[in-house]
Structure 1
C-alpha cells in the first residue's frame, strides 16, 4: 500500500500546481494594483530597496526587513526552515554478502537423486523425483517427505541444501539433493513509480542497492524535474535526491525484503513576479536554489524596468520561529533585500538559499513611496495567508 504522502496521483499534483500558478498571478495582480499609487505619490528618487529600509523604521510595518550581505548569511542559515521542506533522513550504504537468504514465502524446487533399487523416493525406472514450488511457511519450515518439517529460515541456499541433504540421508543414505530458490515477497522489493518499468523485483542477493533496483526498472523516467527518491521500510519514510545519490556513492543503501522505492518529481516551488522575466510558479530544478539561481530561472531582470538594487525575497516563518530562545527572525513575515550592483551583493545572492514557497520580487525604480511599499508587501503577505501557503 502506497504511503499517504505519495498516494496523490499525477493529475492531482498538476491540478495543485495549476492552483498555485493562479495564486501567483493573483499576487502579481495585487502588486500591479498598487503601482499607480506608488508612482503618483513621489516622482523618481531613491531605489525601492532604500525606501523599504526606511519603511521598517518609519512605518508601523508588520514585517521584519533584513539586508542580505556577507555578514548576515551565517545568521539566516540557522533560522528554522519554511515551506514544504521535508527533513527526511537517509540510510548510508553498507557492504552485504553476495548470497541469498531464505525467508518465509520463498519457494524451493528440489530434485532428489537416488540410484538405490529399493529407494523410498524413486522407482526402478525413475532415479530422480522432483518437488516443485515447496513454499517456506510462516515459521520458516518446509515439509520433506519421510522426514517432516525442516527449518530453513535465514539460511543461504547452499546451507539449506546441506541441511536437507543430511535430513534425507537418515532415511535414504544414497540420496543426493539439488536445490533452487525462487524469492517470495519477503525477499523482493517494490519499485512503485518514476521508472520505465515499475513492479516487484526479487533480490538476487543481500548486496542489492537502490541504484541497482532503479537500473533493473529501466532507469528514471525522462521529464522528471530534480527527481527525488523515497524509501519506505518498517513504517518509516526515508528520502534523498537522485542527484545526491549519484554524487555520493556512500548513500547507495542496501535494500531489504519488503522495501518500497518511489521516484518522484521535486514538488518544491517558489514564485516570481514584478520586474522579472516571467511571473510564474517555478519548480526547484536542483536540491539547493540560491537567490541568483531563482533570478535566472525566472528569466532575470526586465532591463527597462527592474532596479538591480531592489531584489526582494518575501518569506513567512511559522510562529514557532519567533518564540523565546529560538534563533529566528524578529517577526514571522520577513523581507530580504539584495543589492546586485555591488560585489558583496552578487556573492551574497549566490549563497542566499531560497526556501520553498518564497516570493522573489524584482522592484521598479519608480516605486519609491515608503508607506505604499509597506502596504504593498502587507497585502501580498495577506494573499498568502488567506491561501494557506
Structure 2
C-alpha cells in the first residue's frame, strides 16, 4: 500500500489543497489594530509621585515658619491606585493625568490647609513603562510619554531596527498573549501602528520561516521567506530558477509533511502524512497552479532533472564501468 500521497496540482485542485491544514506555522500573523488614547500621561499603579506643598499661613500644619514648602518625594502609587498624604489620608489618583491628580490633592487639602498649593511630578513605574528587548540599537525599559505611545515610536526611541537582522519580525508580548507582524508590513500600514500599554514587551527578531531548495536549480540552500506568503512559482525564482541544461520543467516537486491529526479520508485533507505535490511548468494550467499554490515553512522544493540528463548520467556511469573492465582485461592479458 502507498504511504505517500502524490498530487498533480492543477488550477482546479488549488481550492481543495489550499483548504488543507497549514504546516510549519499558523498561516498568518496575529496583530492588533491601531487605536488612540490620551495625549497626556496617565497615572498608574507603580508610578512614583513627588509632591511639593506650599503653605504661606502662620502656624501651618504642614510647614514651618522658616520653610514655606514641604517636599514628599518617592510616593509610590499603590496597587489600588492611591498615595498617602498627611492629614487627608489616601488619595486615589490612578487613571488621572498628573495635572488632574495635582488638583484632586489640592482640593482634598483645602478643608485642612485652605491656602495650600500643590506641585506634582510623576516618574513612570512598571505600569507606565514598556520594554524594548532586542533587535534595536538601544534596548531597554522606556517610560511612556503619553497614552498614544506606539510600537513605531518605541522602536524609534531604541534607535531603529538593526541592519543586521534578516527579514525582521516585530513581536509584542502583552500579559499572557503574543502578537507578531513583519516589520515591512508594520512600516507600510498606519493602521498597524498599535498603541502600547504599560508593561508591554516588544522584541524585534528575525523571521525564521524557511523552505529547502534542492535539485536542478540555481541555488541549493535553506531559503528564508522574504514576505508573509510565497507561492511555488515565487519559490522557483528564489531558488535562482531552473537550470536550462539539467532541470525538467515538468517535474517541479514540493515535499510536505502533515501532522497525523491532519490526515483525512473524506478529501478534506491528505490521506497520508507525507505528500508530494507535482507541477508541470510547461503548461499554462501548471504555471497558474504554481502561481497560486502557497509554500509552507519547512517544505522541500525539488527541481527534478530532465530524463535526458538522467540518461546521460547512466551512460557515463556505464562507460566508466566498461572502461574499468577493459582496463582490467588489458592488464590481465
Residues 1:89 and 2:30 are matched in the alignment = yes
2:115 corresponds to: 174
Kindly state the Cα deviation for residue 68 of structure 1 after the two structures are TM-superposed: 2.3
CA contact (8 A) 2:248 2:307 kept: no
Higher relative contact order (CA 8 A, sep 6+): 1
The structure having more radius of gyration, on CA atoms, is 2
1:324 CA drift (Å): 4.8
Match of 2:167 among 226, 236, 247: 226
Q: Compared with structure 1, are the counterparts of its residues 192 and 248 closer, same or farther at alpha carbon in structure 2 (3 Å cutoff)?
A: same
Q: Distance in 1 between matches of 2:6 and 2:105?
A: 75
- Aligned twin of 1:275: 216
Distance 1:314 1:61 in 2: 16
Q: How many residues align?
A: 310
Q: 5+ unaligned residues in a row in structure 1: which ranges?
A: 1-59, 370-389
Quick check: 1:241 aligned with 2:152? no
**CA distance in structure 1 between the partners assigned to 2:117 and 2:184 by the alignment:** 51
The superposition leaves residues 330-369 of structure 1 with CA deviations (integer Å, 9 ceiling, x where unpaired) of 3222111122223333333222111011111111112899
For residues 326 and 249 of structure 1, the distance between their equivalents in structure 2, rounded to whole angstroms, comes to 41
SS in structure 2 of the partner of residue 292 of structure 1? helix
1:154 corresponds to which residue?
95
- Compute the TM-score of the two structures, normalised by the length of structure 2: 0.86
Q: Is the 8 A contact 1:91 1:251 kept in 2?
A: yes
TM-score by length of 1: 0.74
Q: Distance in 2 between matches of 1:225 and 1:350?
A: 25
Larger helix percent: 1
* Partners of 1:71 and 1:100 in 2: CA distance: 56
TM-aligned CA deviation for residue 288 of structure 1: 0.9
Instruction: Say what the alpha-carbon RMSD is for the aligned residues.
Output: 2.1
2:172 touches 2:200 (CA, 8 Å); kept in 1? yes
The aligned residue for residue 302 of structure 2 is 361
Q: Does 1:113 align with 2:54?
A: yes
Mapped pair 1:316 → 2:316: no
Which structure dedicates a bigger proportion of its chain to strand?
2
2:6 is aligned with 1:65? yes
Instruction: Report the Cα distance in structure 2 between the residues aligned to 1:67 and 1:367, rounded to whole angstroms.
Output: 22
Provide structure 2 residue ranges, at least 5 long, that are not aligned to the other structure: 311-333
